[in-house]
Amino acid sequence: MSTLTTSTDPVQFVVHEGRLLNEGRHEEWLSLFAPEGCYWVPLAGDRQSDPHGHASLAYEDRILLATRIRRLQGPRAHSLAPGVRSVHVLQQPGLTGATEDGCLLVQTPFHYTEARGNRQFQLAGVWCHRLRPTAQGLRIVLKRVNLVNATAAHEAIQLFP
């Protein structure tokens, strides 16, 4: 099944994205990003204005995301033994505005659980999407993940909150 969604509905798009992540369909998830798309988890949560002047928990372009996805699938990913799974529980996404260049802004509160063996941890926060309409449907220009407790010490996050 092709997962490149042609949806122009930002709510449907974000729900579809969450489903791909929950099902571990990471390559299909990556296909939702625009060529210049980035995934950002700020260290200071919603108080951080840019990823370049401050440390971040993650700031990855498509190349880095693709590298991480290959690592997750590789046989030498020993830190993932006996396997890692995650689930995102999303509140209804909400369209919050649009940018001058036509991108849609969407915010989605979430709870995230990641499990590896008998260890499990949880995070909560808000997804902030900047989505560009294209002929192929919406694409992620920026996915910002504002964690409620971003500055706290965290276990190694293996997947994508």
Task: Assign residue 33 the CATH number of its domain.
Answer: 3.10.450.50
Does some domain include residue 30? Answer: yes
Mean pLDDT of the chain: 90
Does some domain include residue 73? Answer: yes
At 6 the pLDDT is: 56
Average pLDDT for residues 69-96, to the nearest whole number?
A: 83
CA 21 to chain centre: 8
For residue range 2-60, list pLDDT tens digits in order: 445 557 899 999 999 999 999 999 999 999 999 999 999 999 878 888 999 889 999 99
Does some domain include residue 155? Answer: no
Number of separate domains in the chain: 1
State the residue range of the domain holding 139: 10-147
Q: Amino acid identity of 96?
A: T
Residue 80 pLDDT level (bands cut at 50, 70, 90): low
Tokens of 87: 């689930």
What is the rounded CA–CA span in Å between residue 97 and residue 127? Answer: 14
Share of the chain above pLDDT 90, in %: 69
Does some domain include residue 37? Answer: yes
Does some domain include residue 127? Answer: yes
What is the rounded CA–CA span in Å between residue 93 and residue 11? Answer: 5
